[in-house]
Structure 1
Amino acid sequence: MAVQLYKLPISAPPKPINPISRPIKMLTTNTISVTSQASSTEKVLSKRKLPILLFDIMDTIVRDPFYHDVPEFFSDDSGDGFLVSSLMPFKELMECKHPTAWIEFEKGLIDERELAKIFFKDCRPLDLEGLKNCMKRGYSYMGGVEALLKDLKENNYEMHAFTNYPDWPAVRSSIFSNANAHLCSCSDIAVKQECKRKPDADAYLEVLRRLEVDPGNCIFIDDRMTNVEAAQNVGILGIQFKDAASLRRELSNMGVETCSKNEDALNTS
């Protein structure tokens, strides 16, 4: 069931922000003013540590099996089908698949049964259960990311998933089974209800409205620069994910505490 969208009022798109040159002033006990179209009054949220961190999931927190494992699943010698050759599996998979079916699935416009029917342009059969099992086996943390998430959680940062990944319970449970130990409730569910996806500006504004936070008090991390730039265009600070070590450095340069408390104690002893 779709919910009514209230956009944050903005007079003009803010200029993109260089995250390294704009350190964030950390607020731990001060209050946050939240603007709402429905009301001009300020809502006060106390003791909310800033910034709030918004994480993409695929190839940012976990490796994306679609690029690494799914082409092999469909290759001649995989034992699962005959859909593409073993020479250029990913390229041929892209040529065979329906151009918009997956996007429609991400937005919740079609369910998995309809996806299976139209996944390929020529409507050839799809082993849906085999595909789901292939993807579930392929999820694993990107190197060093789990340790970073643990340190951020230990330092009491509020972290949310902001991903285009579809509401696919059988597969999502594999992705978030461990990540949920570090991330808060996934904000992308709210966006799915509105059929929005990155890099649409409305997707970012909907997440800000749901979290009741100003854009300048958020940092968004994504491996795709297009999505990072879209976040910056609505005033959210952005970092392109390359690897966990560089992300830790960039967050630290922006004033985020990325060291574990035990490590801090050893450095000060």
Structure 2
Amino acid sequence: MVSLLPRAPYLASLPKSASSSLRPSPPAMSSSSSAARAEAVARPRKLPVLLFDVMDTLVRDPFYHHIPAFFKMSMKELLESKHPTAWSEFEKGLIDEVSKSAWYQLIEDKLKLSKYLSWTFCSCRTGKRKPSPEFYLQAIDHLNVDPASCIFIDDRMVNIEAALSVGMVGLQFKNAEALRKDLCALGVELPPLVCEGEAQVQ
């Protein structure tokens, strides 16, 4: 899952001690302004935060599109033939004979999503997986935002329902135009998207 915030890109999956070193040091403050800053940090931010699923929302998921064809099976047959907990353990990084953890890095290397998205939450790094409520709560805690300020976008209703259960707003991704309309209905204005070497997209 990735999140769009008005700040520089940076991996949210880093430990908090490591992540603090990536932030600029705050300017020196008086004790009263230090107390005010500490109070502000303790309060959750209340700005719209867009949380996007990556696979089959931002990027085509090879598992659903290519792997069944490779094995000459339908998706139903493939799912019936796999171990019941294998996919969950694979996504969380508990099965390390295959490298799911390399997928998000491959996507980043190819698409440079971090230029557009501020935070990345990967199951293989956090050990939490959608639709577990802990996955969403960990993102809320890390971002220090009010859950009602988070708009979670996913192609799967089960993941949206889990986001709703922790107090987020949820939108099902169908296509880019429908998403833009849904976001506008919520009062989120998106600037025109300009990709490198392309004309402006409205």
TM-score, length-normalised on structure 2?
A: 0.67
Deviation at 1:258, TM superposition (A): 1.9
CA deviation vs aligned residue, 1:122-174 (integer Å, no higher than 9, x gap): xxxxxxxxxx8xxxxxxxxxxxxxxxxxxxxxxxxxxxxxxxxx42x2x3233
Rounded Cα–Cα distance in structure 1 between residues aligned with 2:144 and 2:132: 19
CA deviation vs aligned residue, 1:168-215 (integer Å, no higher than 9, x gap): x2x3233223122211231x24x5444211111111111011111111
Other structure's SS at 1:208 match: helix
Other structure's SS at 1:180 match: helix
Corresponding position of 1:17: none
Corresponding position of 2:5: none
Larger radius of gyration between Structure 1 and Structure 2 = 1
Corresponding position of 2:82: 97
In the alignment, residue 43 of structure 1 is paired with which amino acid? V
Corresponding position of 1:67: 64
Corresponding position of 1:207: 139
- Count of residue pairs brought into register by the alignment: 157
Query: Is contact 1:199–1:226 with CA below 8 Å preserved after alignment?
Result: yes
Alignment of 1:48-197 (within 5 A): 50-75=47-72, 88-111=73-96, 113=97, 115=98, 166-167=100-101, 169=102, 171-176=103-108, 177-178=110-111, 179-186=113-120, 188-189=121-122, 192-197=124-129
Deviation at 1:41, TM superposition (A): 4.8
In the alignment, residue 185 of structure 1 is paired with which amino acid? W
1:98/1:44 Cα in 2 relative to 1: closer, same or farther (>3 Å)? closer
Rounded Cα–Cα distance in structure 2 between residues aligned with 1:103 and 1:243: 26
Deviation at 1:251, TM superposition (A): 0.3
Unaligned runs of 5+ in 2: 1-13, 17-37, 195-202
Rounded Cα–Cα distance in structure 1 between residues aligned with 2:144 and 2:90: 28
RMSD across aligned positions (CA): 2.9
Corresponding position of 1:241: 173
Aligned sequence identity (%): 49
Other structure's SS at 2:41 match: strand
Unaligned runs of 5+ in 1: 5-39, 76-87, 116-131, 133-165, 263-269
Q: Deviation above 3 Å: which 4+ runs of structure 1?
A: 191-194
Corresponding position of 1:217: 149
In the alignment, residue 69 of structure 1 is paired with which amino acid? H
